[in-house]
Structures are given as structure tokens and as C-alpha cells.
Structure 1
């Protein structure tokens, strides 16, 4: 998951550098007034999102599989704890009725 996040951040930073260069060289339009910095960041986000979606497909699938395995493991642990509590509760009730 961390690897995917760092790769996605790397693509964004790369786009940010390219867009910044294009804006300050005059090839891409500048923002309105004092919004130039915000314009560069937003344009970089818009460009990096589809690039990340296509380029990082395999890494995203691996991260998704890790998350699914972790959730399944947590569900199994929860179910084991719940059934253990049920057995202890049943044993206590049986002992209380026998007394």
C-alpha cells in the first residue's frame, strides 16, 4: 500500500514539475491574478489522476489484494473471539443453572 502511495505521489510530483515549467515558460496559460500556484497544483492533479489510473493498475490491484486479505483476517479473528465469548457465556450459564 505504501509503495502504491509513493508511486502515485511520484507521478503527481512529476506532473507538477512539468506543469510548472510549462506555465512559467509561457506555453501553458497562467492562472488568474494571484491564483497561479493553485492553478499549477490543480492542473497537475487533473493530469496525474488518469496517468496514475492507467500506469499503476497492477500495483493498485496488488494493494487491493493486501487490503482484502487483511480484512478477511480481521473478520476471522473477530469471529473466533465472538465464538469464544459465546462458549464462555454458555458455560457460565450452565454452571449457574446447575448450582
Structure 2
């Protein structure tokens, strides 16, 4: 997951540098008034999102599989704990002890 995040951040930084160069060279609009920095960041986000979606598809799928495995493992652990508690409770009831 960290690898995907770093790759996505790298694409954003690359887009930020490109947009900054385009804005300051006059090839892209400068924004309104004092909004120049925000304009550059928004344009970089707008460009980096579809690039990340296409370029990082395989890495995103791998990260998703790892997350699903972790969730399945956590569910299995919860079920095992629940079954142990149920078995202990059933044993206590059979032996006549309060639960």
C-alpha cells in the first residue's frame, strides 16, 4: 500500500512540475488574482488522477488483494475467538457454573 501511495505521489509531483512550467511559461492560464498556487495544484490534481488510474492499475489491484487478505484473516480470527467463547460458555452451562 505504501508503494502505491508513493507512486501516486510521484505522478502528482511530476504533474505539478509540468503544470508549474506551463503556467509560468504562459502556455496555461495563470488563474485569477492571488489564486495562482491553488490553480497550479488543482490542475496538477486534475491531470494526475486519470494518469494514476491508468498507469497504476496493476499496483492498485495488488494492494487491493493484500487488503482483502488482511480483512479475511481478521474475520477468521474473530470467528475463531467467537467460537472459543461459545464453547467455553456451553461447557460452563453443562457443568452448571454461571456464565
Answer whether TM exceeds 0.5 for this pair: yes
* Superposition pairs of residues 6-85 of structure 1, within 5 angstroms: 6-85=6-85
TM-score by structure 2 length? 0.95
- Partners in 1 of 2:26 and 2:96 — Cα distance? 84
Post-superposition shift, 1:36? 0.4
- Partners in 2 of 1:92 and 1:6 — Cα distance? 52
Question: What root-mean-square deviation, in Å, do the aligned CA atoms of Structure 1 and Structure 2 show?
Answer: 0.8
- Partners in 2 of 1:93 and 1:73 — Cα distance? 30
Post-superposition shift, 1:92? 1.1
Once the two structures are overlaid, the 10-residue window that deviates more, 49-58 or 87-96, is: 87-96
- Partners in 2 of 1:31 and 1:95 — Cα distance? 78
Unpaired runs of 5+ residues, structure 2, are none
- Partners in 1 of 2:79 and 2:10 — Cα distance? 40
- Partners in 2 of 1:42 and 1:88 — Cα distance? 58
- Partners in 1 of 2:23 and 2:76 — Cα distance? 53
